[in-house]
Amino acid sequence: MAEMMSEDQYMERKRWVFLGLPFTFTTYHVAENVITIDSGFFRKVENDCYMYKVQDVELVATFFERIAGLGTVICYTGDTTHPKLMLEHIKNAKTIKNYILEASENARMKRRTLNTLNIGAEAMDDMDGAGLDE
């Protein structure tokens, strides 16, 4: 079960797909402003991603994950070190995915960060019609 740290923070452990047992050394902390992944036993690695950098969130659940009540949340980010951040084999994955989606949108609004993608936009060479040689 996802441990609700406070009103706006989750902590979850990566689990084995077999029976959903949490015998791994990876924990995920999802807070209002940052996602933190702590992993490792002998060599500890901590990876942070600011919430405003999360561009899209996807939930994937394989057949065996669904049997164990698990899911994998994939966050597509603008982060340079990890553009695809995976929260693997976690319980309550749908709740956490929805929280990340809302929190990332709120963080972008607070920072006044805009995602501007010109998909299918044509180049504007001459806006006033007077020619470019002027």
Segment 104-121, tens digit of pLDDT? 999 988 887 765 544 454
Give the pLDDT confidence score for residue 103 in this predicted structure. 93
What are the domain boundaries of the chain?
3-110
Give the pLDDT confidence score for residue 113 in this predicted structure. 72
**27: phi then psi, degrees, rounded to nearest 5:** -125, 145
Give the pLDDT confidence score for residue 96 in this predicted structure. 95
Average pLDDT over all residues of the chain: 82
Q: What angle (nearest 5°) sits at the alpha carbon of residue 11, between those of residues 8 and 13?
A: 160
Query: pTM value?
Result: 0.74
- Render pLDDT for 14-71 as a digit per residue (tens, 0 to 9): 887 777 778 888 999 999 999 999 999 999 999 999 999 999 999 999 999 999 999 9
Give the pLDDT confidence score for residue 118 in this predicted structure. 47
* CATH 2.30.140.10 is the classification of domain 3-110: no
d(CA 2, CA 80): 28
d(CA 59, CA 74): 6
